[in-house]
Structures are given as C-alpha cells and as structure tokens.
Amino acid sequence: MTPTTSDSPFKAILPYRDVIHTTDSNGNHFGWVDLPSPEALQITGKRLAEYGARLCTITAFNKKKFAQDGDMQMVYNFDLDGAVLTVSIPVTPHDRRVPSLVDYFANADWHEREFAELFEIELTGRDAPKRLFLDPKIDTGVFNRLVPLSSMMNGASTKQLWETIFAETSMPDWAKEAK
C-alpha cells in the first residue's frame, strides 16, 4: 500500500485529519483511521451510513498475539463506492464494551454476534446477541485462548477410543503388545 497525497475520497466524509490515504498497485483507494475510543465509533458509523457506506466486515484481535484478557483491537472495514475505509478502535481489558452499529448497518448483526461469541466482547445499544456459530456448551471467548495446533486438528486425542476398541475386539497377541 503506497501512501498518497492525491485527493482523498475520505476527506469529505470523516472530519479526522489523521485519515491515512493509500493506494494499491491498481490505484484502488484505501483509508485508515484509528479512533481514540469505542465511543467515537458510533458517531463515525452514523456519519458513514449517511454517506451511503456499506459495512464489509468487522475483525477483532489481540494486540499481543495469543494474549489472554489483554488489550484488543476492533477493525471495521467499510466500502465507499469502491474505496475501502478501515476504522480501528481500542478495547481494553477493563472495559470490553463496544457500541453496536446495527442501527446504522443492518448487516452488522452477524459480525457482532460472531465477535461477541468468539472474543467475549460486550455490545452496547442492542439486546444480548444470540450465539452464531459454536455449540452453547463451548465457553464464550474461545478465540482468546491458545489451543495447540495438534489439539485443534484432533491429532492429539485421548486413548479412550482405541482402548475401547482393543477391549471389545479379539486380536492376536502381537497386536495387543503393539498398542
């Protein structure tokens, strides 16, 4: 992404002076802005909705990879008639609340339900969202925990399955010794 000084398509929409404007190798426009607090998101969201922006996606992540209960960042990507604006807000461990944008962007619903479920982030301005993906028996905030790759891929499992098979199956002695 190349920083550019050409006319920014984002200037007229967002009053912030520190919107960074870049282009890619095809000349497509990208805007980047860091908001100081989650509260500023609601004002920005309202303004973007008034200008006909479309919410593309919302991403949550830990500022320190694999940290648990540390500082987080929320990233909102909006489409403005072909240009992409990326709006970031900080989320602290002491206050994991972010304002909902469903009043301005109806398609924020699934995104908000997803990050509330996977990262245990609380949404303000809407009813408690229903879980989107995972079985209710799985704790919320599961993405904040380090799950070893081998466990995730079921490579590391208990011996219960094979012990059951061995117990219920007649097999030659050499096979029993091999277990």
Partner 1 sequence: MATYSIPVGPLHVALEEPMYFRVDIEGETVKGLEISAGHVHRGMESLALQRNYFQNITLTERLCSLCSNSHPCTYCMAVENLAGIDIPERARYLRVMADEIKRLASNLFNVGIMAHTIGFNSLFMHVMEVRELAQDIKEGVYGNRMDLAANCIGGVKYDIDDEIESFLRTQLKELKRPMDELYRTYEKDPLVTARTKGIGILPEKDAIRLGVVGPVARGSGIAYDIRDKAPYSAYDQLSFTVQTETEADVRSRALVRLREAIDAISLMEQCLDRMPKGPTVPDCLPDIPPGQSVARSEAPRGELIYYLKSDGTDRPQRLKWRVPTYMNWEALHIMMNNCKISDIPLIINSIDPCISCTER
In angstroms, rounded to a whole number, what is the distance separating the alpha carbons of residues 146 and 73? 18
152 near partner 1, judged by CB under 8 A: yes
For tokens 């909006």, what's the residue?
78
Q: Residue 35: which of 111, 91, 78, 81 has the closest Cα?
A: 91
Q: In whole angstroms, how close is the CB of 80 to partner 1 at the nearest point? A: 10
**Pairing between β-strand 83-91 and β-strand 29-34 as defined by DSSP bridges:** parallel
The binder of partner 1 chosen from 43, 134, 156, 165 (CB under 8 A): 134
119 near partner 1, judged by CB under 8 A: no
Cα-based torsion angle of the residue sequence 103, 105, 109, 114 in order, rounded to the nearest 10 degrees: -120
157 near partner 1, judged by CB under 8 A: no
Q: In whole angstroms, how close is the CB of 163 to partner 1 at the nearest point? A: 27
Identity of the residue, 40 or 132, whose beta carbon is nearer to partner 1 in the bound complex: 132
Q: In whole angstroms, how close is the CB of 134 to partner 1 at the nearest point? A: 6
Identity of the residue, 28 or 37, whose beta carbon is nearer to partner 1 in the bound complex: 28
Residue pair 133/118 in contact (Cβ under 8 Å)? The answer is yes
Q: In whole angstroms, how close is the CB of 45 to partner 1 at the nearest point? A: 13
Instruction: List Cα–Cα distances, 29 to 22, 39, 65, 100, 174, in angstroms.
Output: 6, 26, 28, 26, 67
What tokens appear for 132 in the block? Answer: 């989107």
# of chain residues touching partner 1 (CB under 8 A): 39
Query: What sign does the CA torsion over 157, 159, 164, 165 have?
Result: positive
**Binding residues among 55-84 for partner 1 as defined by CB under 8 A:** 55-57, 59, 61, 65-66, 75, 77, 79, 81-84
Q: Which residues bind partner 1 (CB under 8 A)?
A: 1-2, 24-26, 28, 30, 32, 54-57, 59, 61, 65-66, 75, 77, 79, 81-84, 86, 105-107, 109-111, 132-135, 143, 147, 149, 152-153
